[in-house]
């Protein structure tokens, strides 16, 4: 079977698949993702997009497997780890999501979006106090981003209201 996309057109194919997802054409997006990962099996972007399509298509087990493949392709990519942790959290696998979040903490988070995403994941795995520095760095890096500032204020409030006096 000859594939209809070449490695040179991967970026445009990713854009087309994202458009299909936005239009709700998940069956078409799934088919195109299959072709994309066949053409470029070592490109984590195709696997990540396939995972997103899988989750939206109510196929969480497939989505998790696609994210594992993406992690194999890019083991030091914090965005892949964070997305994997988010998916585990959606499946109710909190302990595994926490382990992934702690693994992502050891990586370089060079963009405020990654700082914010890790802070959000830590909050969802009930580590709100640990999340505050990530929200703070995201808000400092992008001071005009209202979402980052909101997340910082909200998590600081959560960490203050959930703090307990140490028992004596």
How does pLDDT run across 62-78, given as a tens digit for each residue? 999 999 999 999 999 99
Shared domain for 98 and 71, answered yes or no, is no
CATH of the domain at 122: 1.25.40
> What confidence tier does 1 reach under pLDDT thresholds 50, 70, 90?
very low
Shared domain for 16 and 55, answered yes or no, is yes
Distance CA 120, CA 131 (A): 7
**pTM attached to this predicted model:** 0.80
- Contact at 8 Å (CB) between 33 and 5? no
Residue 167 lies in a domain: no
Shared domain for 58 and 105, answered yes or no, is no
Q: Is 105 exposed, middle or buried (0-12, 13-18, 19+ CB in 10 A)?
A: middle
Shared domain for 113 and 71, answered yes or no, is no
């Amino acid at each position: 079977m000859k594939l209809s996309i070449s490695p040179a057109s991967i970026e445009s194919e990713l854009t087309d698949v994202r458009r299909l997802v936005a239009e709700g054409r998940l069956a078409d997006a799934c088919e195109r993702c299959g072709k994309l990962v066949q053409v470029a099996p070592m490109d984590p972007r195709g696997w990540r997009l396939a995972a997103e399509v899988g989750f939206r298509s109510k196929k969480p087990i497939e989505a998790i497997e696609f994210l594992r493949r993406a992690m194999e392709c890019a083991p030091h990519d914090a965005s892949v780890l964070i997305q994997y942790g988010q998916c585990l959290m959606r499946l109710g696998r909190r302990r595994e999501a926490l382990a992934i979040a702690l693994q992502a903490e050891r990586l370089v988070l060079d963009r405020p979006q990654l700082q914010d995403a890790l802070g959000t994941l830590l909050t969802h795995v009930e580590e709100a106090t640990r999340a505050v520095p990530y929200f703070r760095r995201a808000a400092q890096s992008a001071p005009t981003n209202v979402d980052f500032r909101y997340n910082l204020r909200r998590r600081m409030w959560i960490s203050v209201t959930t703090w307990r006096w140490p028992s004596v």
